[in-house]
Amino acid sequence: MDDASRDGLSDADLLARHVAGDPDAFGEIVRRHRDRLWAVALRTLGDREEAADAVQDALVSAYRAAHTFRGQSAVTTWLHRITVNACLDRARKAASRRTAPLAETERLEQLIEPHESAAAPAERGDLHRELVQALATLPPDQRAALVLVDMQGYPVAEAAEVLDVPVGTVKSRCARGRARLLPILTHLRPRGGGSPPSDGGRNRSQGTSVPPPAGQSDTDPVKGGGGRA
């Protein structure tokens, strides 16, 4: 089947073709969704190499487990769930072996602005340091929920599908995460009572959320499918 014909197939059709032995079908699924999987992984882990490895692990798992997909959710939700689980596994392992809090802060710096120039204003650098230090205080489960809902803009119901937990659990994790961040970040909120600018996300939750970074670009594709071969 040529590329043009493959473009017209749904994700579920491509996954079924992959299971049936089409050698190129899974590659098309990766091409369609790799950038968003990468963005979620980078924002959850805050380290480009760890994120690339997590995406690689997730795609290998999805490739091998494709025959278990039953269509109870969208393929993209299934892929995001596998990716988030891979990220949480890596975050927990990193937490268990962490010896230097500064190293974690340096990795999380990229969560806020992975392409920040070294010549950026000092004020912005100070803001980033405070934000990453605040995010570093959250448990991985709360951080993952906030990344999906407040930073990636997922509706709570869809984030619940990705995380494979009840909607109430996502709401609870977000609420606890925001409550932990609020005392740390209150002084960073703009004064004057104006409405915050829209960041064009899919979902904007009411209440306090993680402040969105300005000019962020974290959808760089993972070269070669991401991570080490």
- From the list 4, 3, 28, the residue with the least C-alpha distance to 14 is 28
Q: Which of 1-15, 42-56, 185-199, 206-220 has the lowest mean pLDDT?
A: 206-220
pLDDT at position 128: 59
- What is d(CA 108, CA 132) in angstroms, rounded to the nearest whole number? 6
The pTM score is: 0.62
Predicted pLDDT of residue 107: 43
Could you give the CA distance from residue 67 to residue 34 in angstroms, rounded to a whole number? 20
Identify residue 93 by its one-letter amino acid code: K
DSSP string covering the chain: --HHHHHTS-HHHHHHHHHHT-TTHHHHHHHHHHHHHHHHHHHHH--HHHHHHHHHHHHHHHHHHGGG--SSS-HHHHHHHHHHHHHHHHHHHHHHH---HHHHHHHHHHHH-TT--TTS-HHHHHHHHHHHHHHTTS-HHHHHHHIIIIIS---HHHHHHHHTS-HHHHHHHHHHHHHHHHHHHGGGSPSS-PPPPP---S---SS--PPPPTT----PPPGGGSS--
Residue percentage of the chain with pLDDT more than 90: 37
- The pLDDT score that the predictor gives to residue 181 is 83
Question: Band of the pLDDT at 211, cuts 50, 70, 90?
Answer: very low
Task: Count CB neighbours of 112 within 10 A.
Answer: 25
Q: Is the pLDDT of residue 121 over 80?
A: no
Query: What pLDDT score does 150 carry?
Result: 81
